[in-house]
Amino acid sequence: MKSLVLSSFFILFTINLFAQVRFSTDAIRVNEKRIDQRIQEFAKFGINDQGEPFRVAYSQGDIEGRAYFMDLMRKAGLEVHIDYAGNIIGKRAGKDPSKKPIAFGSHIDMVPNGGNYDGTLGSFTALEIIEVLNEHNIITNHPLEVIIFQNEEAGLVGSRAMAGRLKMDALSQKNASGYTIAEGTKRIGGDPERLPGAARKKGDLAAFIEMHIEQSKVLESRGIDVAIIEGIVGIEDWDITVIGLANHAGSTPMNDRQDALIAASKLVLAVNEVVNSYEGAQVGSVGKISVPSGAPNIIPGKVEMSLQMRDLSTDKIMGMFADIEERAKQIEKETNTQIVFEHLNLSSTPTFANKEIQEKMIQAAESLGISYMKMQSGAGHDTQEMAALGPIGMVFIPSKDGISHNPKEYSSPSEMANGANVMLHTVLLLDEK
């Protein structure tokens, strides 16, 4: 009987202790004020002579910003190093060193005259997670990694290198800093000659998650706190040449013209109509168009234009393209022109977020009373490259008026905290697993 009482007491004590730990974990929150203060402080790095933000990768502002960020990482107790690709990696040990790391982070470079939240928010959110765990004396089972990728804005350079997908011939390309990727990588502490050594293997990460501003205004317009990302869209590109007959604009009757620009204009409208005829969140754009003749007294004999379509389904993209081709054939007959499509070998395939991570993010949001919806990302992110190393997930927060890549870019402190809290609790839920 005494043994039974002691056993029951032990079970109740264990359950109570677990409940207390569970409660304390549920109760923790990020420091909203600290995140906002750091975003504002970081905005001071990279202001050019014209007073514009210019923390482009490899610029002096980028170098100074990276040094500042690494100093904060070290103060937070992270073991910090720069890999051969120039990525900043901060490690925090877990209880079980045999477990794979849970990683999170983003980038701190920007486009010329860009905003203060794109990438930077995801980076400071990653650091905030570490700070909060430190303050609550929480040691996770898994090791944790904060990863700050180099040069996201000019082609996901750092994350592609980590995924083993950055080709060596890309190192000769220049970005807006004026430096090639090879030169810039050296400037920030990497070693382009040893770039393959930055690649990590499939399965190296238990998970990689990232928070980002939405870069459109769906969340804002619907009054929803966060989006749980289902995947990052695939992108397919075509160059289009419309061939007509250049002729004198003054003496050629209207009904006797082979005007390539008229045909191109009809095709632009056809693209819009076809893409809108499909159900879903797919997009299609003609973002570039040029008339080589370029004179007011010449009927355009040739037009060069682009076509880009994005969706989580490659089959849907190619189905839309087939419909656009059919419309192009009709336009050719109507305008007595020729329309030639060239499919470019620049496509990116759709990347799907891990279902279990999505569920953990939803569980986190619901436990915190934060409203959410599911969404696909129409823009590329470092996270899509990390899918080569382990399961991925993303959280979006509202971006005022949908503005991004612009100094007017803004998310409020409370909006940032909502997303950061979902990220924090997702890490804790993943760690429990």
Per-residue pLDDT, 348: 77
**CATH code for 234-343?**
3.30.70.360
- State the virtual CA torsion across 74, 77, 78, 81 in degrees, nearest 10: 40
Res. 277: pLDDT tops 90: yes
pTM of the model: 0.83
Q: Output the CATH code of domain 13-232+350-432.
A: 3.40.630.10
Q: pLDDT (tens digit, 9 = 90+) per residue, 221-260?
A: 999 999 999 999 988 999 999 999 999 999 999 999 999 9
Residue pLDDT, tens place only, 374-400: 999 988 899 999 999 999 999 999 999
Q: What is the mean pLDDT of residues 16-28?
A: 60
CA distance 325 to 332: 10
Q: Please state, in angstroms and rounded to a whole number, the distance separating the CA atoms of residues 105 and 149.
A: 8
Domain boundaries, given as residue ranges, for the chain: 13-232+350-432, 234-343
300-323 pLDDT tens trace: 999 999 999 999 999 999 999 999
> What distance in Å separates the CA atoms of residue 205 and residue 135, rounded to the nearest whole number?
25
Cβ burial, residue 51 (10 Å; 0-12/13-18/19+): exposed
